[in-house]
Chains A and B, each alone.
Chain A
Amino acid sequence: MLVQAILVGLVGAFGCLDYQLGTLYAFRPIVLCPLVGLVLGDLQTGLAVGASLELLFMGSISIGAYVPPNETVGGVLACAFAIQLGQGTETAIALAMPIAVLSLTIGNITDAGFSIIVDIADKCAAKGNLKGIYAAHWSMGLFGCLEYFLLCGGAFYLGSDAIQGLLDFIPTFVIDGCGVAANILPAMGFAMLGRLVLTKQLVPFYFLGFLLCSYANVPVLGVALIAIIIGIDKFDLLGLGGAQPQLSAEGDEDDDF
């Protein structure tokens, strides 16, 4: 159990280390849950939970002022508990969001403390002390990794019994209901993305994408490739000449409607 907790903690720490590897988005459930599955000996459940949670957190990206719940800790722990307790994706979904919100709160507290290190780095820079800036960078980042390790490993080690008790207490239709909610919630993630990218000018293309998938059964990747061709053609990006599209009038319609 202790070994498993350490492994789960390491998966969480790897999720944080991803920010040093170039923000590969390896901290997302679709990558970490299969890893959790691997270390706990149930890769298949890990893959299934990863797919479901990735959709649940689809709209959870830090764009603009919205700081999303911590999908890394939420995803790792929810998946680990689901596998440990022999449960399926419904349970993982029910657990993921509350854990993610709680870890966001903890993260915000440590972030406030980091401001001191940022100021120290600033002073080092003014003296031309490059090593000091490196030290600030690594200490902040590695502290984050340690935090993720402790949150994931610690909660997994201490929390299994509590979560088991909670699950025994909750009636099955509630867990089933969370499964239903997980089937609906991707639409909310898509709507959050839509709020970022959709303009009046682009609404017809939303329906084009939907209808291609709905009536012609084109898979999502196929729709994306068709969309690229439409974009290239519409704006003559290959520079082959032809009628110049009317851009000027539509340029200002980026506002909401």
Chain B
Amino acid sequence: MRINHSFILTLFAALLVSCEKNSEIKVYRVSKAPLEQSGPQQQEMMPTNTAAPRMPGGLAPAVQTAVTTPPNWEPQPLSQMRQASFLVKGDNGAVADVSFVSLGSAAGNVLENVNRWLGQLGQPPITEQKLAEISQRLHTSLGDMTIVDLAGLPNNADPARDGRIVAAMMTTPDATLFFKMRGNADLTEAQKGDFLKWVAAVCDAQTQTGSSQTAAAPQPQTTGDVPPIKWTTPEGWAEVPPSSMRYASFSVPAEEGGKIDISVVTFPGDGGSDADNINRWRGQMGLAPVDANAVTSGVASLQTGDTTFSTTDIAGNKTRTIAAWTRRDGRVWFFKATGPAAAVEKEKPKFVKFIESVRF
């Protein structure tokens, strides 16, 4: 009996020591990370993959009950990310999934998300120009929503459950709101009207219930607690309406085609490290990130009146970005010009004068 025990123990010990840690491929699911890795507002948004119970700008609980949904929309259990979820059933087993997700304000721009949805439908990505052609606006009490209607069936997908996405997206200063209906193409088409009404109703209810984070309309940041600043607009720069994220926008046509996009953006806080921001801009230009030393050597100071700006000049293959930023009074201000390399080179003196003219 004792002999058997000895052998069992020997075998057990041998089995134990033959285990190798961390040698297997693991598969798991995590909450979706915002597409943009390190936006200037990262300190204010929930970070990627967090298991926090509520995302910023989340749907106020009262809103769930205040909005009437079509009778054939069956409420579904909510996940960590979803603040509203419904299943719509049609004829012949057709279904569509309706969801409302709220992420941090740096959860990618419209084009990135539309291309992600196109990827889900097995379709190739589109350009900004094409997006402008296919997208529509839906006016809500929270501001204008971008609406897209995308069709396509991925390989091996069930046409009863997939084939079309109707989505509405909006970025507020605190959150990015995604409303989405995905499912059978015919059913999604039939439900599109109800879906858009529901989107508008949710936004209205959100405003009425005074949800602290999404109630603010995505107006340009020239209102509220953002202090006004002044500058002299250089000759040839056309002011364009700022988006919800921008304090001001300018556009300069380039001789070789295209245009230079000049933006003024401000955020509370320090807006992240210089390395994060520069590497994000490099990523937007298709360039590899650089280490902290390279970032430091690529940043120069520019003294204007009582303000010191940090500046950088990033040259890509065909595009170029010049940027200046400064931190004062608990806010960070970014001034950035991006466009075709030759055109940016030509506009650089004007950009420098523009920065020198800024008065806080």
Whether chain B is bound by chain A comes out as no
